[in-house]
Chains A and B, each alone.
Chain A
Amino acid sequence: MTFTVRPDADAKLRGQVAFATDRGVPGMLWGALVPAPVARGRIRSLDLGPARAIDGVIAIGPADLARLLPGVTGAVERPVFPTDRIQYHSQPLAAVAAPTRQLARRAARAVRVDVEPLPPLEEIEGFDPVHPGPDRPDVIAHVLARHGDLDAAFGSADFVLSETYRTAGVCQVALEPHACIAEIQGDVWHVTTSTQTPFGAREDLASMLGLPEERIVVEGTWVGGGFGGKGAPLVEPYALLLARASGRPVRLALSYREEFQLGRTSLPSVVRIESAVKGGRIAGRRVHWRLDAGASLPGRDFTTGYAIGFILGPYRIPAIEMEGYAFRTNKPPLGPHRAPMAPQCVFAEESHMDHLAARLGVDPVAFRRAHVWKEGDRTHLGQKVGPFGLDRCLERAGALAATWSQDAAPHTGVAVGVGFWSTATGAGGEVRLVLSPTELKIIEGEREIGSGSVIRGIVAVAETVLGISRDRVRVDYHDTRSAPFDSGVFGSRTLAALGQAVQKAALALRDELGKRLSVPAGSVQLAEENGELVAVSGRRRAKIRSLLTATELALGGLTGEGRHYGVSGEIDTARVVEGTFYPYTDFTGAAHVAMVQVDPETGAVRVMRYAAFQDAGKVVDLPTAQGSIEGGVAMGLGTALTEETTWAEDGRMSNAGLLDYRIPTLGEIPPIEVHFEEGFLGAGPFGAKGLGEPPIIPVPATVGNAIFAASGVAMTELPMTPERVARALKLL
């Protein structure tokens, strides 16, 4: 395998890659949103007059929707603008467009909004979901599953450890704000946008605007970071409606403040975890989880049922109960943030593991290994565990931790934490490969968001199957009009799922070449000769040009199609009491090691060294894989130590900016060792497992455990800021 430079590196280093924020078209108007002035309240009146009075300004509100969308037949699930009830602070109530940015801002400020404010619903602690008061938040999701004899486990335990953990909301913070350009082209509503999921965005827009999907075209641009935040449409519906109202192209980009205020992020949660221990083993475990779901719609929250699947840990426990509640509050709706809520759930569960081991006086790594799932075990919901390299990762992490512990200075601690994840290989995708005499084109509908999974990952798959040099492979992105369907970038699926489609398409091409050469398909590889591609099988060599028909040549080459629609495992539904739980597809483990130093007088924590052992199945492209792990660990360090959304009493996010919402800077990131464990094969091409989300999951717990090792204090709240550590140290 060759490790050439990223094909997009040069253009990105020269600033030559056009992101959605960089796009401009002649005659374009600038859009701006009119924010709700309260987090909860009723709209008494909305007067767009003062904005419309400004020369050149277009303004639209809820009253204009019927005029702009004459084809809308049924009521849409979530209206673009609220007509009555304000659900969260800065919720868009109307939108404006003007010839300049300044004018658009001025027009947005000119709109007169009269509201009757109500106290925001924020509190999720202490709320009794069974007997909610008249003015309490709705439960939008409730899940409950049970297995084994929990009463017996707790009744006969040597001891029970019961702990409560609190986690903060965290934001994706892609450096590129959401931005798009919308244009109505005849019957077609066209939007050029920064999206992880062009087809998903088309579907959502169709439902939001009440239009058939074929009248909407989503054209993805290069994405300046996603992390889950660029999935569901955010700016697109407003821009499209403004374009419709004005008859002009409209650019709408969020300010960075709006990024925070409107972003679909993760929100605070509380985890109560109790374990019954007998004879040094976990006999029973019960977890109760409360998640702040913001203004999410009832029945539409996927996070609760998914993330809770990781909350009991990848361990053999005879009796379990897990229950999760998601509450509607007056914060923005929940959204997927890199492994949605898993780092938070795992923070509770993996910190709890170290505290149990300490109570027992045993080595925490050995304690984990005595319980950890291996292939063939059953999960808490009865699913059979597939190839799973976590025990091996733990073994290696434990050995490294022992080495690091030897040179631990005073107030320094070394610890291990684990996490696991399941790649969304169940979500489907298709590609079309076109082999011309000189290159292989991968025609697909998913944009590179940065990880390299598209621009390097799926290219490496084609390279591996066909033996073609990767500089002869070109990724050819198409918009939703002409691209083969793909589910998009989420759930660590790009390489693992879209990569399978590429693998199948490449195999189809190879088969066809084998037929035409009259050789066994598996023996055909591509090579280069005088600038042309040749098919080689043993001594047989033939120019691709010579193997194509005249029609194929005219159409650009030989086409191979690949479709991947995955199947996933099954859970034992008898264990589910209420709600929707999801089976795992792949079993992807990770064990991390952190060395931290805790200032015993100020509580400041410095991460000195870090290592990640990743169960990768098969590494298809090493630089891409390594970059994912390093980036995920750094993001996890932010969740662990500094990142937290804070909310004022009036429901407004009080740290909506990059100064006060603190993502890690270069100086806080320690050297990160990355180790891959191969051989426990996943469902992806050649056995690859998705690596986008797994590396963030164990980080907060691993850092918390290292603080525990360094100082003896158990941290139970994220982020572990200097002040929180100082309080735990009883310095205050």
Chain B
Amino acid sequence: MPAFSFVQPSTTDEALAALRQGEPGETVIVAGGTDALFELESRRIPPQRVISLRHLPWRTLSWAGESLRIGSTLPLRTLESDPDLRRRIPGLWQAVRAVGSVALRHRATLGGNLGRSSPASDLVPILLALDGEVDIVGIQGERSLPVDQFVRASRTTALGPGELIRSIAIPEARPSAFLWQRVRPANDISQVGVAVAYSPTRKEWRIAVGGVVPRPVLLPQAERLLSGPSPDAAELRAAAQEASMRVPFSTDRRASEAYRRQLVAILLQRAVRAAGSRPSPSGAP
């Protein structure tokens, strides 16, 4: 096999310079490598170049008041080990813990997960519920997009050919929860994932669901049926019903459409209860 060239930029400028060379289709970008390596193996046409982001100075995590900025190449394991994350944004902590295994999370990154944009991603729903913003650098300059506008479908995002995800911003810490269902609890892909978060400043809920084709979605109609941080049972049922009707589920080999509807209704109620009952939650569902 004609081996590809291997590029390891250590500054943003070097990374952008690397992107300028060659055609986009010829390049594979490796962040944590967990998905890209799989792609390298399965690709019929080997890529011309691999750009590794490992040496970029983007393995960062910084709190500023209520907000959190996560460097796109920060290993997920480092993110989950942050002393404040579990307490302040429990839903994000739960979602990160749901990804793969520890050895995988020592390399896997938030940027990589967003870039892969899997419909079954456990991270996209919570980023949606937290109103996450994607900070992008590119040959044409910098820009920022809500996660909701960033993910489009499997392996399809708003990221342009000359662009990279630099960081992800979470505007505020929120009471939150992420619940999932799998055939096998560990090392499996979620059939459905439900992320919920309550914004204390906007006084409203955010509800997002994964396991949906073509991409995880926010459910504003269901959100609006919940009043205040501790909705009552009737409101929860109404929101659950709305969600299970609204979400465009499909049947695949992991679950049927009907089962996904049932799951989203149940998990939504449990997640809101878990998040609402726990202003300073301990984390575990």
Contact = CB atoms under 8 A, between A and B. Distances in A.
A and B touching (Cβ–Cβ under 8 A): yes
A654 interface: yes
Contacts of A106: 1
Interface of A: 102-103, 106, 601-602, 604, 642, 646, 654-655, 658-660, 662, 664-668, 721-723, 726-727, 731-732
Nearest first, the 8 closest Cβ-Cβ pairs linking A and B are A662-B184, A665-B186, A601-B266, A732-B258, A723-B259, A642-B184, A721-B183, A667-B186
B36 interface: no
B146 to A, nearest CB: 30
Interface string B173-200: 0000000010111111101000000000
A102 B266 CA distance: 48
Given A106-B1, A601-B266, A602-B263, A668 B258 contact: no
B145 interface: no
B262 interface: yes
B185 A602 contact: no
Interface of B: 1, 181, 183-189, 191, 253, 255-256, 258-259, 262-263, 266-267
Contacts of A722: 181, 183, 191, 259
10 contacts: A102-B1, A602-B262, A604-B181, A659-B189, A665-B184, A665-B187, A666-B186, A668-B184, A722-B259, A731-B262
B253 A660 contact: yes
A646 B258 contact: no
A723 B263 CA distance: 10
Nearest to A102: B1
A726 B259 contact: yes
Given A665-B186, A666-B186, A667-B185, 14 more contacts: A102-B1, A103-B1, A602-B267, A642-B183, A655-B253, A660-B253, A662-B184, A665-B184, A667-B186, A721-B183, A722-B259, A723-B183, A723-B191, A723-B255
A601 B263 CA distance: 8
Contacts of B184: 642, 662, 664-665, 668
A732 B191 CA distance: 15
A510 B256 CA distance: 67
Which of B184, B185, B187, B258 has the most chain A CB within a 10 Å cutoff?
B184
Nearest to A105: B1
A640 to B, nearest CB: 12
B274 to A, nearest CB: 14
A722 B190 CA distance: 12
B262 A659 contact: no
A103 to B, nearest CB: 8
Contacts of B267: 602
Contacts of A668: 184-186
Contacts of B188: 659, 662
Which of B191, B258, B262 has the most chain A CB within a 10 Å cutoff?
B262
Nearest to A729: B262
Contacts of B183: 642, 662, 721-723
Contact of B262 (A654, A721, A726): A726
Contacts of B253: 646, 654-655, 660
A562 B191 CA distance: 57
B236 to A, nearest CB: 13
A718 to B, nearest CB: 13
Contacts of A664: 184
A601 B181 CA distance: 12
Contacts of B1: 102-103, 106
Contacts of B266: 601-602
B188 to A, nearest CB: 6
B24 to A, nearest CB: 25
A374 B71 CA distance: 69
